[in-house]
Structure 1
């Protein structure tokens, strides 16, 4: 071995993705992560409990540590309530139906406090006491998991609201996948963009459990009790588009 090589040089030789150039979409997501941290999203890092984070795409090696600080601290007790009431089948909600939760999400620190209207809500699903929202918040699209009418379990920035993804027909991508908490209160989530012809997305855990994601307004999302969101390829994403069904491990999604 060349003694002139530094430790980083030696590690670079072992990197299986060293010759791979990220796609424009992966660069856009990576740059968005950095901008969110520089804008002050990282200020809540010291308050975060133990958790695991998985970032999709080639930018994960460089930006995994940065992405991990993009989520505010969990509200004590909220995760336990959400997990205890969780259902595998979500109930779709309109912006009007979840306006109290949307306003509470908008008032949070992530991406800056704003106000919300029903039209800001892009996707909303109900599972037990928890409402998962994907909504516009100023110039950003955020995800919030709300308990009841206003207790915020977690929230994070996703992409700029002006970002337009062009996905091939019948496909989805992966914007984020993560797990939070420990023990009986641990839960995972997965969020991505969907092509217009995608009608349904299911998530099958390696344990055999099957849950249905919500699909609306070009987004798909789901959350569930368990650690799989923070583990590499511990689940399969099943995409339905017309009469065609495709299956993907998270690492296979753009």
Structure 2
């Protein structure tokens, strides 16, 4: 015990108190672990699919298992566009029903257009963030009715919004391999954020979607992996721009 007490003094985070959102994510992971439904290593979020390894960001949180449809990922990547087309809940209701029906974070007994918080179209692929019947918020990516990835974002506990004009990062990941590899990033957007863009180190620009207090994007390539700063995130608002490195985002 004396050795542990001496080592504790060297802990640079010994005086840091987790935020309510961090406590919620931690409790959620512990509950899943006790239920035998969590992965062996705690992560904030991650995609899991057959035959591939996924890297995810930072803090403890939910681990979920998406559906992987052969050929769907390749079709989504091949038709991808840097600028998304915004979709309403009515326009993506079939995709929302498919997302709600899966058991990631619990299945929904009924899905309506109002459950969709954010939806976008990039080529053949649709990304949406929606609220399930139990209050959990999830993200789904798919082509038509075929879902190639899905992820739990919250466990029903409301997340505190960031300050006006600012962003938080809730998840980032890369998935797949070769020509089918893609990256994903999702976070919360504070009041007044009008648009978000990602500037990749190779010179490319990805325009994210922003709606309902959330922002998100996905793109072909490995840049979204944990612990890397291969792109910057820029939040635009009437009061000015805020630029982030992913590893430094709250």
Normalising to structure 2: TM-score of the pair?
Answer: 0.84
Aligned to 1:72: 66
Work out the CA distance in 1 between the residues paired with 2:15 and 2:222. 31
Task: String of CA shifts for 1:62-109, please: whole Å, max 9, x gaps.
Answer: x4xx75x42324222111111000000000000000000000111112
Q: Are 1:191 and 2:186 an aligned pair?
A: yes
Give the superposition deviation at 1:36. 4.6
**Where do 1:169-248 residues align within 5 Å?**
169-232=164-227, 233-248=229-244
Which runs of 5 or more residues in structure 1 are unaligned?
none
Q: Are 1:51 and 2:53 an aligned pair?
A: yes
Change (3 A) 1:249 1:34: farther
Aligned to 2:42: none
Matched-pair contact (CA < 8 Å) for 2:48–2:64 = no
Work out the CA distance in 2 between the residues paired with 1:195 and 1:41. 32
Q: Are 1:27 and 2:23 an aligned pair?
A: yes
Q: Are 1:99 and 2:93 an aligned pair?
A: yes
Normalising to structure 1: TM-score of the pair?
Answer: 0.83
Aligned residues: 238
Which runs of 5 or more residues in structure 2 are unaligned?
40-46
Moved more, 45-54 or 228-237: 45-54
Change (3 A) 1:187 1:241: same
Which of 118, 132, 142 is the aligned partner of 1:146? 142
User: Which structure features the higher share of helix residues?
Assistant: 1
Task: String of CA shifts for 1:12-36, please: whole Å, max 9, x gaps.
Answer: 8987655544333322233334445
